[in-house]
Structure 1
Amino acid sequence: MISLKEKPEKGSEGMKEQEKKFQEKEEKDAETSAENIEEKEADKKDSEEKAEDKKDDLEDQIKAKDAEIADWKDKYQRLMAEFENARKRMSKESTQRYDMGAMGVLEKLLPVIDNFERGLESVSEEEKDSAFVQGIQQIYKQLISVMEDLGVTPMDAEGKEFDANLHNAVMHVEDEELGENIVAEELQKGYMYKESVLRHSMVKVAN
């Protein structure tokens, strides 16, 4: 038979056992909670690392696209520059071909102008007022006007310094009134077509 004195001792031991189990459970729960926190932190860190890696990959892709765009832009600008140069070259060549053709035609008209001028110079004073001569003068003026509209202008070399690029010297004379290497007389009128020589002036050069 168990005495009353022994019962409390047994009950005390039971309580201690329960407290021990409860404490162990709390410790275990605490360990589990700590492990869960560590796992969550690890998962969070892993997610952050993955997000950072993804961000780096995205930045690399953007840089690669930017480089590709810059390369295509450079190629486009080079192509446009080449196209513009080709267009200007073709335009210049076309203008040169037109000018060469025009000069060939205009040069053939110069003897006609020469004949008009010689004919008008040979008209006597009595004939200058005649209707025929007046008509010839009007035709001559119209021809000169058309030539000027096309870009043909006379050189008017007389009294200017001789220039081999513009003048063709056929005679030399001594003239104290003129300086050295000065055109004393224009024997045949020279003409320019725009910036090019259409026909050299045939000149007499002094000294």
Structure 2
Amino acid sequence: MPIFSELRNRRLIRELCCELNKDVLLFGFDGFVYFGNLQSVEESRLAILTPAAEAESNEVEILTPGGEVIHVDFTRVDLWQLVGKGTGIVSDPIQSGGFTSSRPDGKKTKKTRHESPCLIRQLRRMIGDEITLTTLGGFLFEGTLAEVPDELAILRIQDIFVPGSSSSLSNSSVRSAVINLRAITSVSSISCCSDSESSPLC
């Protein structure tokens, strides 16, 4: 089965349809991040982005896996390849100070790596916890797990790390993220203890 068919998340696409005329961050399977204003969703497959209201430029911004920012007039994004989306945009997360320091001091992670169904079961037990999710495309999402509806994970964002950069998109720019659970590759819990043991298997 083609990878895009396996990644396609109808719930995530339906949620995006409720974000029309709002600024969004779209995280692609290929490691690219798209920042713009969602104008329309065509045939439940393509998102049309125009320059974001909160952008510092008058163009759509595309952050490459190597950390380079590309500016275009508008773009069409294939929704079947989405790893997740960022919402609650309060400032330009790519240009206006969105890149900040890494994870807080004194926190250790304990990582769980299993097949995706097992990861999802683990995730449902972690609602309310501070967690780290990694996904296809090389993204790392860090924050508090708010809920796990259907095939999505909703996080109150602390940091988002993108491929090719040690800096992050912080919660001062992006308040929440919705992650496609079909794309997760690991789940980690964050604790203040230094002698954390591995999470129990599912």
Q: TM-score scaled by structure 1?
A: 0.21
Greater RCO (CA < 8 Å, at least 6 residues apart): 2
TM-score, normalised via structure 2 length:
0.21
Larger radius of gyration: 1
More strand by share: 2
